[in-house]
Copies of this chain bind each other. A is one copy, B any other.
Amino acid sequence: MANIRDVASRAGVSVSSVSNVLNGRTDQMRQETLVRIENAMLELNYHPNRAAQQLKTGHAKMIGLLVPSIVNPSFAALAREVDLAAKNNHGYRVLLGNTYREEDEEQAFLTDLMSHGVRGVIVVSSSIEKSHFSEAAENGLVMVNYDGSSVTDAESNQILYDSVSMDNRQAGRIAAQYLIDQGCREIAFVTETTRTISRCHKIEGFLALAAEKGMKTHARVIEGKATKAYGDTEMVELGNQLAATIGELPLKPDGIVAINDVLAIGLIAGLRSKGIRVPEDISIVGIDNISLSGLITPALTSVAPPLADMATIMVERLISRLNSPHINAEEFLFTPTLVVRDSVIKRPG
C-alpha cells in the first residue's frame, strides 16, 4: 500500500503538500500542484492510512452505534439509515455494538470505542442517565441519544447529550385520533410494563387525545411484563399473552394502539387464535412501521418515524460537535406520520 511519502515523491512535492490536499487546505495551493498531487494519488491507488490519521488527530472516521439488538427490526432499520448518512454525507463508517440493554455491555462498548479512536456514538439505551455514559462523556466521547430522555446536568442545568426522537406524544395522539376517526368507541393502549420515557410519552399522547375527544372513560392502558426487553421474540410472546387478557375482558376494546409493531404482530396472532378477528372485531395500530408490517396479514397500519431524516441529523450533530466541542447539546423532535394499511376498519359511528 502506497503511503503519503510515495505520493509526495511521485508528485515531486513534500509530504505536507500532500497532507494539505488530504485535508482540504488547497485554497492557497497552485492549481498545477494540486493536479499533480491528485494524479499521483490516483496512479498509486493511494488511500490514507486511517490509523495514522487517527493516532495523530485523536479520532477515527468512524461512529459507534450502540443498540440493544440489531435483530430488532426497528434498530436494523436505524442502522441502515445511520450507515447511509455517515458514509454518503461524511465518509464515516459504523462500528456496531449489541448491548442487550445490559450495562456491562454498554460500558464495554463505550470503552472499546474510545480505544479504537471513535469519538462519536449514537446511543439507543433507556439508561443514558447512568454513570457509565457520563464517564464516557468526560473522556471526550460525544453522544447522541436516540429515542431517549434528554438528560440535564444537575449543576449547570444544561442538557448533556443531543437527543433525537420522534415526537412520541404526537405518535400516541395520531394513533388514537385515527382509531376514533374510524369509529372506534372503546380504545386501549397496549404496552410492555417498563416505563421508558418514550413509552410514557406515547401513552400520554394517547390518553390526552382521547380525553379531548370526550372519550376519557373509554380509553385505557393494558400492560404486561416481557421476559426480556430487547428482543422481538419476547415482545411477540407478550402480544400473545396480552391477547388472552383482552379476550377475557368484559368490555372489549374495538380499537388498540400497540406500543410497537412487533407487539402488534403478537397481538394479532394471539387474538386470532382466540377467534377475535383483526380488523373486523378489533382494529389495531402499531408504532414504528418496521418493514415487515407491510408484509403480514392484515398489513399493519402504523405510526412511522422519519428514520432517514433522524439518522441524518444524528450523524450531522455528532460530527459537528466533534469538530466544535463548545456547541451545546440540543433536543430534536421529529413528527411521525401515519402509514395506513389494513389493520383498521371503518366502523359506523
Contacts and interface: CB of A to CB of B under 8 A. Distances in A.
Interface of A: 1, 47-52, 54-55, 60-62, 65, 69-71, 73, 76-77, 79-80, 83-84, 93-98, 111-112, 114-117, 139, 231-233, 236, 262, 265-266, 268-269, 272-273, 291-292, 294-297, 299
Given A51-B54, A115-B47, A292-B232, A98 B70 contact: no
A49 B236 CA distance: 42
Contacts of A93: 95-97, 112, 116
A117 B71 contact: no
Given A70-B79, A95-B95, 8 more contacts: A47-B114, A50-B117, A51-B60, A60-B116, A62-B95, A76-B76, A269-B297, A273-B297
A291 B71 contact: yes
A272 B292 CA distance: 17
Given A269-B296, A295-B265, A297-B269, A96 B115 contact: no
Contacts of A73: 71, 73, 76, 292
A278 to B, nearest CB: 10
B70 A1 contact: no
A145 B76 CA distance: 22
A273 B342 CA distance: 12
A295 B263 CA distance: 10
A292 B71 CA distance: 10
A70 B60 contact: no
A89 to B, nearest CB: 14
Nearest to A232: B291
A232 B80 CA distance: 13
5 contacts: A48-B115, A70-B83, A71-B73, A71-B76, A95-B96
A182 to B, nearest CB: 21
Nearest to A72: B76
A295 B114 contact: no
A51 B55 contact: yes
